[in-house]
Amino acid sequence: MGWIIGALIVLVLIIVISGIIFVQQSRAYVIERLGAFHTVWGVGPHFKVPFIDKIARRVSLKEQVLDYPPQPVITKDNVTMQIDTVVYFQITDPKLYTYGVEKPMTAMETLTATTLRNIIGDLELDQTLTSRDIINTKMRAILDEATDPWGIKVNRVELKNILPPQDIQSSMEKQMKAERDRRQAILQAEGQKKSAILIAEGERESAILRADAEKQAAILKAEAEKEAAILKANGEAQAIRLVQQALADSLEMLNEKAPNEQVVKLKAIQAMEKVADGKATKIIIPSEMQGLVGMANGLVEGVKE
pLDDT tens digits along 258-286: 555 655 566 666 655 655 555 545 555 55
Per-residue pLDDT band for 257 (boundaries 50, 70, 90) equals low
> Which residues are within 8 A (CB) of 129 and not within 5 positions of it... i.e. 6 or more apart?
162, 164
pLDDT exceeds 90 at position 250: no
Q: Among the listed ranges 158-162, 214-218, 240-244, 259-263, which one has the minimum average pLDDT value? A: 259-263
pLDDT of residue 298: 47
In the predicted model, is pLDDT for residue 300 greater than 70? no
| Percentage of the chain exceeding pLDDT 90 | 28
Tens-place pLDDT, residues 87-105: 999 999 999 999 988 889 9
pTM beyond 0.95: the answer is no
Mean pLDDT of 57-80: 90
Q: Please say if the pLDDT value at position 193 is more than 60.
A: yes
Which residues neighbour 90 within 8 Å (Cβ) at sequence distance 6 or greater? 61, 62, 63, 64, 152, 153, 155
Question: Among 20-29, 127-136, 288-297, whose mean pLDDT is lowest?
Answer: 288-297
d(CA 110, CA 300): 147
Rounded-to-integer distance, Cα 97 and Cα 64, Å: 14
Q: Are 31 and 94 within 8 A, CB to CB?
A: no
Total count of residues recorded for the chain:
305
Distance CA 93, CA 100 (A): 10
Report the distance separating Cα 138 and Cα 123, nearest Å. Answer: 13
Q: What is the CATH number of domain 63-164?
A: 3.30.479.30
Percent of the chain at pLDDT > 70 equals 80
- The domain limits of the chain are 2-60, 63-164, 259-305
Q: Check whether 61 has a pLDDT greater than 80.
A: yes
Band (pLDDT 50/70/90 cuts) for residue 184 is: confident
